[in-house]
């Protein structure tokens, strides 16, 4: 067994043991504190449920209505002109909204084009270079009751655009 494997096998149990030892040393009721945290977690999960359902319904409507495909068809000539592969645009649009939908699209792209193709590598790189910005803002800001998130949305989406552009540049330079 290699060093990294050994460390990864023992890291979490060691952390849990350390937390329990420190809790005992400081006379903190570890189990009761854990159960109380679990209760708060369940309450928070129920409070977030409407936000999550809204996101899931929105994504389903976008994909099943054909609006996404119509939009891509409309701007394909422009995308081809600037060197942006049109096949990757649905992933770039959906990735800030839903990680699961984006992972499904990445899987479809890799199955269609192959893992070693330009599109397959680009989809994989884009999956790792961007984040589920709108999902994160909905969950975390909703959990603590923040309603005004316009600056966070702008910065998060800008970071996603930079991630998409950087993915295209890097994959083109390395594999193109």
pLDDT of 77: 92
Q: 95: Cβ–Cβ under 8 A, 6 or more apart, which residues?
A: 102, 126, 127, 130, 131, 132, 160
- What is the pLDDT, as a whole number, of residue 1? 62
Q: Which residues contact 112 (CB under 8 A, 6 or more apart)?
A: 87, 119
pLDDT value at residue 119: 94
Model pTM greater than 0.75? no
CA distance 170 to 162: 12
By C-alpha distance, which of 140, 132, 134 is closest to 44? Answer: 140
Q: Please give the torsion angle defined by the CA atoms of residues 64, 67, 69 and 72, in that order, rounded to the nearest 10 degrees.
A: -150
Residue 97 in contact with residue 59, Cβ under 8 Å? yes
Average pLDDT of the chain to the nearest whole number: 86
> Between these two residues, 92 and 58, which has the higher pLDDT value?
92
């Amino acid at each position: 067994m290699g060093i990294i494997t050994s460390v990864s096998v023992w890291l979490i149990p060691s952390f849990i043991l350390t937390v329990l030892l420190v809790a005992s040393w400081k006379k903190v009721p570890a189990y009761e504190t854990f159960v109380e945290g679990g209760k708060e977690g369940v309450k928070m999960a129920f409070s977030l449920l409407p936000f999550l359902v809204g996101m899931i319904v929105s994504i389903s409507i976008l994909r099943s209505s054909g609006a996404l495909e119509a939009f891509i068809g409309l701007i394909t000539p422009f995308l081809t002109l600037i060197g942006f592969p049109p096949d990757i645009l649905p992933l770039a649009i959906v990735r800030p909204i839903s990680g699961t939908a984006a992972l499904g699209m990445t899987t479809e792209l890799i199955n269609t084009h192959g893992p070693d193709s330009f599109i397959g590598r680009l989809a994989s790189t884009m999956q790792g270079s961007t984040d589920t910005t709108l999902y994160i803002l909905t969950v975390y800001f909703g959990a603590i009751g923040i309603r005004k998130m316009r600056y966070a949305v702008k910065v998060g989406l800008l970071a996603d655009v930079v991630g998409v552009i950087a993915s295209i540049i890097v994959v083109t330079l390395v594999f193109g």
